Structure 1
Amino acid sequence: MSGFEVAEEEERRRKRAPWGVIALVLLTGLALVRNGSGEFDVGPPQPASAAAADRQLPGRVLARAAQPLSFALPDRVRIPAINVDAPTIPVGLDLDGWVGAPPPEDPNLSGWFTGSVSPGEKGTAVVVGHVDNLQGPAVFYGLGSLAKGNRVEVLRKDGKTAVFEIYGVEVFQKDNFPGDRVYASKGTAELRVITCGGGFSKQTGYDGNVVVFASLVEVR
Protein backbone atom coordinates (compact mmCIF):
# COMPACT_ATOMS: atom_id res chain seq x y z
CA MET A 1 0.00 0.00 0.00
CA SER A 2 1.42 3.42 -0.98
CA GLY A 3 1.86 6.31 1.44
CA PHE A 4 -1.15 8.01 -0.13
CA GLU A 5 -3.30 4.89 0.29
CA VAL A 6 -2.20 4.51 3.93
CA ALA A 7 -3.12 8.13 4.67
CA GLU A 8 -6.44 7.67 2.85
CA GLU A 9 -7.19 4.55 4.89
CA GLU A 10 -6.36 6.29 8.18
CA GLU A 11 -8.70 9.14 7.26
CA ARG A 12 -11.42 6.64 6.33
CA ARG A 13 -11.13 4.92 9.70
CA ARG A 14 -11.39 8.24 11.55
CA LYS A 15 -14.63 8.95 9.73
CA ARG A 16 -16.10 5.48 10.20
CA ALA A 17 -19.73 5.63 11.23
CA PRO A 18 -20.71 4.88 14.86
CA TRP A 19 -23.04 1.90 14.49
CA GLY A 20 -24.91 2.66 17.69
CA VAL A 21 -26.34 5.91 16.36
CA ILE A 22 -26.78 5.27 12.62
CA ALA A 23 -29.72 3.23 11.37
CA LEU A 24 -29.47 1.77 7.89
CA VAL A 25 -32.23 2.97 5.59
CA LEU A 26 -31.65 2.23 1.92
CA LEU A 27 -33.25 4.35 -0.73
CA THR A 28 -36.89 3.29 -0.79
CA GLY A 29 -37.76 0.48 -3.19
CA LEU A 30 -39.58 2.01 -6.13
CA ALA A 31 -41.93 -0.77 -7.21
CA LEU A 32 -42.68 -4.44 -7.11
CA VAL A 33 -42.75 -6.40 -10.35
CA ARG A 34 -45.84 -5.60 -12.39
CA ASN A 35 -47.87 -8.26 -14.14
CA GLY A 36 -49.50 -7.91 -17.54
CA SER A 37 -52.56 -6.14 -16.16
CA GLY A 38 -50.47 -3.40 -14.58
CA GLU A 39 -51.17 -4.61 -11.05
CA PHE A 40 -48.43 -5.59 -8.62
CA ASP A 41 -47.48 -9.23 -8.34
CA VAL A 42 -46.17 -10.91 -5.19
CA GLY A 43 -43.04 -9.14 -4.01
CA PRO A 44 -39.53 -10.43 -3.41
CA PRO A 45 -38.98 -13.54 -1.26
CA GLN A 46 -38.87 -12.97 2.48
CA PRO A 47 -36.56 -14.86 4.87
CA ALA A 48 -37.84 -18.07 6.44
CA SER A 49 -38.01 -18.17 10.24
CA ALA A 50 -35.52 -21.05 10.20
CA ALA A 51 -32.95 -18.74 8.62
CA ALA A 52 -32.81 -16.37 11.60
CA ALA A 53 -29.27 -15.59 12.72
CA ASP A 54 -27.95 -17.01 15.98
CA ARG A 55 -26.99 -14.39 18.56
CA GLN A 56 -23.56 -16.02 18.82
CA LEU A 57 -21.47 -17.10 15.85
CA PRO A 58 -22.34 -20.79 15.26
CA GLY A 59 -19.59 -23.22 16.23
CA ARG A 60 -19.51 -24.81 12.77
CA VAL A 61 -18.81 -21.40 11.22
CA LEU A 62 -16.40 -20.29 13.94
CA ALA A 63 -14.40 -23.49 13.45
CA ARG A 64 -13.87 -22.57 9.79
CA ALA A 65 -13.19 -18.88 10.35
CA ALA A 66 -10.44 -17.61 8.07
CA GLN A 67 -7.69 -15.21 9.08
CA PRO A 68 -8.85 -11.60 8.47
CA LEU A 69 -7.28 -9.67 5.61
CA SER A 70 -5.85 -6.17 5.41
CA PHE A 71 -7.77 -3.31 3.78
CA ALA A 72 -8.60 -3.52 0.07
CA LEU A 73 -11.45 -2.03 -1.91
CA PRO A 74 -14.14 -4.51 -3.03
CA ASP A 75 -14.63 -4.93 -6.78
CA ARG A 76 -17.53 -7.40 -7.23
CA VAL A 77 -20.01 -9.37 -5.17
CA ARG A 78 -21.08 -12.86 -6.21
CA ILE A 79 -23.84 -14.92 -4.60
CA PRO A 80 -24.05 -18.15 -6.62
CA ALA A 81 -27.25 -19.41 -4.96
CA ILE A 82 -29.26 -16.51 -6.43
CA ASN A 83 -27.14 -15.86 -9.55
CA VAL A 84 -25.80 -12.51 -8.36
CA ASP A 85 -22.61 -11.23 -10.00
CA ALA A 86 -22.52 -7.48 -9.43
CA PRO A 87 -19.94 -4.70 -9.66
CA THR A 88 -19.41 -2.89 -6.36
CA ILE A 89 -19.07 0.86 -5.90
CA PRO A 90 -18.40 2.88 -2.71
CA VAL A 91 -21.44 4.46 -1.00
CA GLY A 92 -21.53 6.79 1.98
CA LEU A 93 -24.09 8.69 4.02
CA ASP A 94 -26.68 10.90 2.40
CA LEU A 95 -27.48 14.45 3.53
CA ASP A 96 -29.87 13.13 6.18
CA GLY A 97 -27.25 10.84 7.70
CA TRP A 98 -28.63 7.57 6.32
CA VAL A 99 -26.60 4.99 4.46
CA GLY A 100 -27.08 5.53 0.74
CA ALA A 101 -27.42 2.98 -2.04
CA PRO A 102 -26.19 2.70 -5.63
CA PRO A 103 -28.10 4.66 -8.31
CA PRO A 104 -31.42 2.84 -8.91
CA GLU A 105 -31.08 3.35 -12.67
CA ASP A 106 -28.48 0.55 -12.76
CA PRO A 107 -30.22 -2.48 -11.21
CA ASN A 108 -27.09 -4.66 -11.08
CA LEU A 109 -24.90 -2.44 -8.87
CA SER A 110 -24.00 -3.24 -5.28
CA GLY A 111 -22.54 -0.71 -2.87
CA TRP A 112 -19.90 -1.08 -0.17
CA PHE A 113 -20.54 1.31 2.74
CA THR A 114 -17.30 3.23 3.26
CA GLY A 115 -18.06 3.75 6.94
CA SER A 116 -17.49 0.03 7.52
CA VAL A 117 -14.40 -2.13 7.23
CA SER A 118 -13.61 -3.53 3.80
CA PRO A 119 -14.91 -7.07 3.15
CA GLY A 120 -12.41 -9.50 4.65
CA GLU A 121 -11.05 -7.16 7.33
CA LYS A 122 -11.68 -7.88 11.00
CA GLY A 123 -15.00 -6.31 11.89
CA THR A 124 -18.30 -6.00 10.06
CA ALA A 125 -18.33 -4.97 6.39
CA VAL A 126 -21.60 -3.73 4.90
CA VAL A 127 -22.75 -4.22 1.29
CA VAL A 128 -26.07 -2.78 0.13
CA GLY A 129 -28.16 -2.83 -3.03
CA HIS A 130 -31.66 -2.33 -4.38
CA VAL A 131 -34.34 -5.00 -4.37
CA ASP A 132 -36.06 -3.56 -7.45
CA ASN A 133 -36.61 -0.47 -9.57
CA LEU A 134 -39.33 0.71 -11.94
CA GLN A 135 -38.22 -1.80 -14.56
CA GLY A 136 -38.39 -4.86 -12.28
CA PRO A 137 -36.13 -6.91 -9.98
CA ALA A 138 -32.73 -5.47 -9.05
CA VAL A 139 -29.48 -7.00 -7.82
CA PHE A 140 -30.66 -8.20 -4.39
CA TYR A 141 -34.23 -9.19 -5.28
CA GLY A 142 -33.60 -12.79 -4.22
CA LEU A 143 -31.75 -12.01 -0.99
CA GLY A 144 -34.59 -13.19 1.23
CA SER A 145 -34.48 -16.69 -0.30
CA LEU A 146 -30.92 -17.37 0.85
CA ALA A 147 -30.32 -20.07 3.45
CA LYS A 148 -27.75 -20.86 6.09
CA GLY A 149 -24.68 -22.37 4.47
CA ASN A 150 -24.95 -20.42 1.20
CA ARG A 151 -21.84 -18.45 0.25
CA VAL A 152 -21.13 -14.82 -0.64
CA GLU A 153 -17.93 -14.10 -2.56
CA VAL A 154 -16.37 -10.64 -2.57
CA LEU A 155 -13.70 -10.06 -5.21
CA ARG A 156 -11.25 -7.44 -3.96
CA LYS A 157 -9.02 -5.06 -5.87
CA ASP A 158 -5.92 -6.68 -4.32
CA GLY A 159 -6.72 -9.82 -6.34
CA LYS A 160 -8.03 -11.83 -3.39
CA THR A 161 -11.52 -13.26 -3.06
CA ALA A 162 -13.08 -13.21 0.41
CA VAL A 163 -15.59 -16.06 0.78
CA PHE A 164 -18.25 -15.70 3.47
CA GLU A 165 -20.65 -18.37 4.74
CA ILE A 166 -24.18 -17.26 5.57
CA TYR A 167 -25.36 -18.08 9.08
CA GLY A 168 -28.55 -16.04 9.14
CA VAL A 169 -31.07 -14.11 7.03
CA GLU A 170 -33.68 -11.86 8.67
CA VAL A 171 -35.98 -8.94 7.94
CA PHE A 172 -36.16 -5.98 10.34
CA GLN A 173 -38.52 -3.00 10.43
CA LYS A 174 -36.75 0.21 9.42
CA ASP A 175 -38.28 2.14 12.30
CA ASN A 176 -36.97 -0.41 14.81
CA PHE A 177 -33.72 -1.45 13.14
CA PRO A 178 -31.42 -3.26 15.64
CA GLY A 179 -28.20 -1.54 14.58
CA ASP A 180 -26.14 -2.79 17.50
CA ARG A 181 -27.05 -6.39 16.74
CA VAL A 182 -26.69 -6.15 12.97
CA TYR A 183 -23.37 -4.33 12.95
CA ALA A 184 -21.76 -5.83 16.05
CA SER A 185 -18.34 -7.37 15.51
CA LYS A 186 -17.87 -10.91 16.78
CA GLY A 187 -14.08 -10.67 16.71
CA THR A 188 -13.81 -12.12 13.20
CA ALA A 189 -14.26 -10.85 9.64
CA GLU A 190 -18.02 -10.44 9.16
CA LEU A 191 -20.24 -9.36 6.27
CA ARG A 192 -23.75 -7.96 6.12
CA VAL A 193 -25.61 -7.80 2.81
CA ILE A 194 -28.69 -5.60 3.02
CA THR A 195 -31.62 -4.60 0.83
CA CYS A 196 -35.20 -3.41 1.24
CA GLY A 197 -37.92 -5.85 2.27
CA GLY A 198 -40.88 -6.41 4.51
CA GLY A 199 -44.23 -4.80 3.74
CA PHE A 200 -44.70 -2.48 0.76
CA SER A 201 -46.95 0.44 -0.12
CA LYS A 202 -46.85 2.74 -3.14
CA GLN A 203 -46.90 5.73 -0.80
CA THR A 204 -43.94 4.84 1.45
CA GLY A 205 -42.14 1.95 -0.27
CA TYR A 206 -40.75 -0.93 1.77
CA ASP A 207 -40.99 -0.75 5.55
CA GLY A 208 -38.10 -3.11 6.34
CA ASN A 209 -34.62 -4.31 5.46
CA VAL A 210 -33.55 -7.86 4.64
CA VAL A 211 -30.20 -8.55 6.29
CA VAL A 212 -27.82 -11.40 5.45
CA PHE A 213 -25.36 -12.35 8.22
CA ALA A 214 -22.15 -14.02 7.01
CA SER A 215 -18.66 -14.80 8.29
CA LEU A 216 -15.33 -15.17 6.45
CA VAL A 217 -14.47 -18.86 5.98
CA GLU A 218 -12.08 -18.86 3.01
CA VAL A 219 -9.67 -16.64 1.09
CA ARG A 220 -8.78 -17.44 -2.51
Structure 2
Amino acid sequence: MSGRGKGWGIAVAVCAGLWLVHSGSENVTPPVPSAAEAFAAGPRIHTDAAADPLPPSAPVRLRIPEIRVDAPVARLGLREDGSLQVPPAGDRNLVGWYRDGTAPGAKGTAIVVGHVDNAKGPSVFYSLGALKKGHRIEVTRKDGRTAVFTIDAIEVYEADDFPDEKVYGSRDRAELRVITCGGGFTKKTGYRGNVVAYGHLIGVRQA
Protein backbone atom coordinates (compact mmCIF):
# COMPACT_ATOMS: atom_id res chain seq x y z
CA MET A 1 0.00 0.00 0.00
CA SER A 2 2.90 2.34 0.60
CA GLY A 3 3.76 2.27 -3.08
CA ARG A 4 0.21 3.24 -3.97
CA GLY A 5 0.30 6.06 -1.46
CA LYS A 6 3.60 7.27 -2.85
CA GLY A 7 2.06 7.14 -6.29
CA TRP A 8 -0.79 9.41 -5.30
CA GLY A 9 1.75 11.78 -3.78
CA ILE A 10 3.39 11.98 -7.21
CA ALA A 11 -0.02 12.51 -8.81
CA VAL A 12 -0.53 15.60 -6.63
CA ALA A 13 1.83 17.34 -9.04
CA VAL A 14 -1.05 17.65 -11.52
CA CYS A 15 -3.11 19.62 -8.97
CA ALA A 16 -2.14 23.00 -10.33
CA GLY A 17 -5.47 24.73 -9.84
CA LEU A 18 -5.72 25.46 -13.55
CA TRP A 19 -8.81 27.63 -13.29
CA LEU A 20 -7.38 29.67 -10.42
CA VAL A 21 -4.08 30.16 -12.24
CA HIS A 22 -5.89 31.02 -15.47
CA SER A 23 -8.17 33.56 -13.76
CA GLY A 24 -5.32 35.00 -11.70
CA SER A 25 -7.27 34.49 -8.48
CA GLU A 26 -6.10 33.29 -5.08
CA ASN A 27 -9.14 34.64 -3.27
CA VAL A 28 -11.66 32.13 -4.62
CA THR A 29 -10.68 28.63 -3.53
CA PRO A 30 -12.55 25.36 -2.89
CA PRO A 31 -14.17 24.80 0.52
CA VAL A 32 -11.83 23.41 3.18
CA PRO A 33 -13.11 20.86 5.72
CA SER A 34 -13.48 22.25 9.23
CA ALA A 35 -11.84 20.62 12.24
CA ALA A 36 -15.29 19.42 13.33
CA GLU A 37 -15.40 17.04 10.35
CA ALA A 38 -12.11 15.30 11.21
CA PHE A 39 -11.85 11.96 13.00
CA ALA A 40 -10.16 13.65 15.96
CA ALA A 41 -13.31 15.65 16.69
CA GLY A 42 -15.23 12.44 17.33
CA PRO A 43 -18.64 11.49 15.94
CA ARG A 44 -20.95 14.49 15.80
CA ILE A 45 -23.98 12.36 14.99
CA HIS A 46 -24.96 8.74 15.39
CA THR A 47 -22.87 6.58 13.06
CA ASP A 48 -25.00 4.20 11.03
CA ALA A 49 -24.19 0.52 11.38
CA ALA A 50 -22.20 -1.00 8.53
CA ALA A 51 -24.05 -3.04 5.92
CA ASP A 52 -22.76 -6.40 4.75
CA PRO A 53 -20.32 -6.09 1.83
CA LEU A 54 -21.50 -6.87 -1.69
CA PRO A 55 -19.86 -9.05 -4.33
CA PRO A 56 -17.47 -7.01 -6.52
CA SER A 57 -19.00 -5.05 -9.39
CA ALA A 58 -17.55 -2.05 -11.22
CA PRO A 59 -19.02 1.40 -10.47
CA VAL A 60 -20.71 3.29 -13.28
CA ARG A 61 -22.03 6.45 -11.60
CA LEU A 62 -21.44 8.42 -8.40
CA ARG A 63 -23.81 10.87 -6.72
CA ILE A 64 -23.33 13.18 -3.75
CA PRO A 65 -26.67 15.01 -3.38
CA GLU A 66 -25.47 17.60 -0.85
CA ILE A 67 -22.97 19.09 -3.31
CA ARG A 68 -24.91 18.28 -6.49
CA VAL A 69 -22.46 15.73 -7.84
CA ASP A 70 -23.91 13.29 -10.39
CA ALA A 71 -21.13 11.95 -12.57
CA PRO A 72 -20.14 8.90 -14.61
CA VAL A 73 -17.19 6.82 -13.42
CA ALA A 74 -14.12 6.01 -15.52
CA ARG A 75 -11.67 3.22 -14.75
CA LEU A 76 -8.12 4.25 -13.82
CA GLY A 77 -4.91 2.27 -13.61
CA LEU A 78 -1.34 3.10 -12.63
CA ARG A 79 1.29 4.92 -14.65
CA GLU A 80 4.73 3.49 -15.28
CA ASP A 81 6.11 5.37 -12.26
CA GLY A 82 3.48 3.74 -10.02
CA SER A 83 1.35 6.86 -9.68
CA LEU A 84 -2.39 6.71 -10.04
CA GLN A 85 -3.81 7.90 -13.34
CA VAL A 86 -6.24 10.80 -13.18
CA PRO A 87 -9.41 11.44 -15.20
CA PRO A 88 -8.98 13.64 -18.31
CA ALA A 89 -8.75 17.24 -17.09
CA GLY A 90 -10.94 18.48 -19.93
CA ASP A 91 -14.04 16.69 -18.59
CA ARG A 92 -15.33 18.66 -15.60
CA ASN A 93 -17.92 16.05 -14.64
CA LEU A 94 -16.05 12.76 -14.51
CA VAL A 95 -14.97 10.59 -11.58
CA GLY A 96 -12.17 8.01 -11.68
CA TRP A 97 -12.07 4.64 -9.87
CA TYR A 98 -8.90 2.63 -9.23
CA ARG A 99 -9.88 -0.42 -11.27
CA ASP A 100 -7.28 -2.79 -9.77
CA GLY A 101 -8.47 -2.09 -6.25
CA THR A 102 -11.70 -2.74 -4.38
CA ALA A 103 -15.04 -2.11 -6.08
CA PRO A 104 -17.31 0.29 -4.15
CA GLY A 105 -19.57 -1.78 -1.92
CA ALA A 106 -17.26 -4.78 -1.79
CA LYS A 107 -15.18 -5.66 1.25
CA GLY A 108 -12.12 -3.44 1.51
CA THR A 109 -11.24 0.14 0.64
CA ALA A 110 -12.46 1.51 -2.70
CA ILE A 111 -10.59 4.51 -4.09
CA VAL A 112 -12.33 7.21 -6.13
CA VAL A 113 -10.67 10.40 -7.38
CA GLY A 114 -11.69 13.50 -9.30
CA HIS A 115 -10.43 16.94 -10.28
CA VAL A 116 -11.20 20.02 -8.24
CA ASP A 117 -11.04 22.33 -11.27
CA ASN A 118 -9.68 22.77 -14.77
CA ALA A 119 -8.87 25.76 -16.96
CA LYS A 120 -12.58 26.49 -17.50
CA GLY A 121 -13.73 26.45 -13.87
CA PRO A 122 -14.73 24.18 -10.98
CA SER A 123 -14.78 20.44 -11.65
CA VAL A 124 -16.64 17.50 -10.16
CA PHE A 125 -15.14 17.55 -6.64
CA TYR A 126 -14.71 21.31 -6.22
CA SER A 127 -17.07 21.32 -3.22
CA LEU A 128 -15.90 18.06 -1.61
CA GLY A 129 -14.53 19.95 1.39
CA ALA A 130 -17.99 21.33 2.17
CA LEU A 131 -19.39 17.90 3.06
CA LYS A 132 -20.25 16.95 6.64
CA LYS A 133 -20.22 13.78 8.68
CA GLY A 134 -23.38 11.82 7.98
CA HIS A 135 -23.84 13.04 4.41
CA ARG A 136 -24.39 10.33 1.81
CA ILE A 137 -22.45 9.13 -1.21
CA GLU A 138 -24.28 6.86 -3.66
CA VAL A 139 -22.45 4.64 -6.14
CA THR A 140 -24.42 2.85 -8.86
CA ARG A 141 -22.68 -0.33 -9.96
CA LYS A 142 -22.67 -2.40 -13.14
CA ASP A 143 -24.81 -5.06 -11.43
CA GLY A 144 -27.60 -2.48 -11.06
CA ARG A 145 -27.26 -2.10 -7.30
CA THR A 146 -26.59 1.27 -5.69
CA ALA A 147 -24.19 1.19 -2.76
CA VAL A 148 -25.01 3.88 -0.20
CA PHE A 149 -22.19 5.19 1.98
CA THR A 150 -22.25 7.54 4.96
CA ILE A 151 -19.38 9.95 5.50
CA ASP A 152 -17.36 9.27 8.65
CA ALA A 153 -14.93 12.16 8.29
CA ILE A 154 -13.49 14.72 5.87
CA GLU A 155 -9.83 15.57 6.30
CA VAL A 156 -7.24 17.64 4.45
CA TYR A 157 -3.55 16.76 4.21
CA GLU A 158 -0.44 18.47 2.93
CA ALA A 159 1.27 16.45 0.20
CA ASP A 160 4.31 15.75 2.37
CA ASP A 161 2.15 14.47 5.22
CA PHE A 162 -0.28 12.21 3.35
CA PRO A 163 -1.25 9.21 5.57
CA ASP A 164 -0.92 6.34 3.09
CA GLU A 165 -2.09 3.51 5.33
CA LYS A 166 -4.98 5.48 6.80
CA VAL A 167 -6.32 6.34 3.35
CA TYR A 168 -5.44 3.29 1.25
CA GLY A 169 -5.20 0.51 3.84
CA SER A 170 -7.55 -2.45 3.49
CA ARG A 171 -10.50 -2.75 5.88
CA ASP A 172 -12.74 -5.61 7.05
CA ARG A 173 -15.93 -3.82 5.96
CA ALA A 174 -16.91 -2.00 2.76
CA GLU A 175 -15.34 1.45 2.84
CA LEU A 176 -14.89 4.29 0.36
CA ARG A 177 -12.34 7.07 -0.08
CA VAL A 178 -13.13 10.07 -2.27
CA ILE A 179 -10.03 12.14 -3.02
CA THR A 180 -9.37 15.46 -4.72
CA CYS A 181 -6.78 18.22 -4.62
CA GLY A 182 -6.98 20.81 -1.87
CA GLY A 183 -5.26 22.37 1.07
CA GLY A 184 -3.29 25.57 0.64
CA PHE A 185 -2.98 27.13 -2.80
CA THR A 186 -0.46 29.40 -4.50
CA LYS A 187 -0.06 30.33 -8.15
CA LYS A 188 3.47 28.97 -8.07
CA THR A 189 2.77 25.51 -6.62
CA GLY A 190 -0.97 25.04 -7.17
CA TYR A 191 -2.75 22.99 -4.51
CA ARG A 192 -0.39 21.74 -1.84
CA GLY A 193 -2.34 18.71 -0.69
CA ASN A 194 -5.52 16.65 -0.82
CA VAL A 195 -9.01 16.53 0.61
CA VAL A 196 -10.16 13.02 1.54
CA ALA A 197 -13.71 11.94 2.37
CA TYR A 198 -13.95 8.69 4.36
CA GLY A 199 -17.13 6.62 4.18
CA HIS A 200 -18.52 3.17 4.92
CA LEU A 201 -21.37 1.17 3.39
CA ILE A 202 -24.70 1.51 5.20
CA GLY A 203 -27.20 0.20 2.67
CA VAL A 204 -27.97 -1.07 -0.81
CA ARG A 205 -30.72 -0.16 -3.24
CA GLN A 206 -31.68 -2.76 -5.79
CA ALA A 207 -32.13 -1.94 -9.46
1:3-14 map, 5 Å: none
1:20 is the counterpart of 2:6: no
Match of 2:199 among 191, 197, 214: 214
- TM-score for both structures, normalised by structure 1: 0.84
1:30 is the counterpart of 2:17: yes
Q: Which residue of 2 aligns with 1:72?
A: 57
The structure having more radius of gyration, on CA atoms, is 1
Q: Which residue of 2 aligns with 1:51?
A: 37
**Cα offsets for 1:153-179 (capped at 9, x unmatched):** 000010000000001000111122111
Q: Give ranges in structure 2 of 5+ residues lacking alignment.
A: none
Contact 1:34 1:136 survives alignment (8 Å): no
1:135-150 map, 5 Å: 135-150=120-135
Contact 1:110 1:129 survives alignment (8 Å): yes
Q: Which residue of 2 aligns with 1:185?
A: 170
Q: Matched residue of 2:62: which SS?
A: strand
Match of 1:89 among 67, 74, 87: 74
Q: Matched residue of 1:22: which SS?
A: helix
Q: CA deviation at 1:140?
A: 0.1
1:131 is the counterpart of 2:113: no
- Give aligned pairs, total: 199
Q: Which residue of 2 aligns with 1:106?
A: 91
Q: CA deviation at 1:117?
A: 0.2
What is the root-mean-square deviation of aligned Cα atoms in Å? 2.2
Q: Matched residue of 1:214: which SS?
A: strand
Separation in structure 2 between the aligned mates of residue 128 and residue 213 of structure 1, nearest angstrom: 12
Separation in structure 2 between the aligned mates of residue 89 and residue 70 of structure 1, nearest angstrom: 20
Q: CA deviation at 1:31?
A: 2.4
Q: CA deviation at 1:32?
A: 4.2
Change (3 A) 1:56 1:98: farther
Separation in structure 2 between the aligned mates of residue 29 and residue 74 of structure 1, nearest angstrom: 27
Change (3 A) 1:96 1:202: farther
**Fraction of identical pairs, as percent:** 49
- TM-score for both structures, normalised by structure 2: 0.88
Separation in structure 1 between the aligned mates of residue 80 and residue 188 of structure 2, nearest angstrom: 22
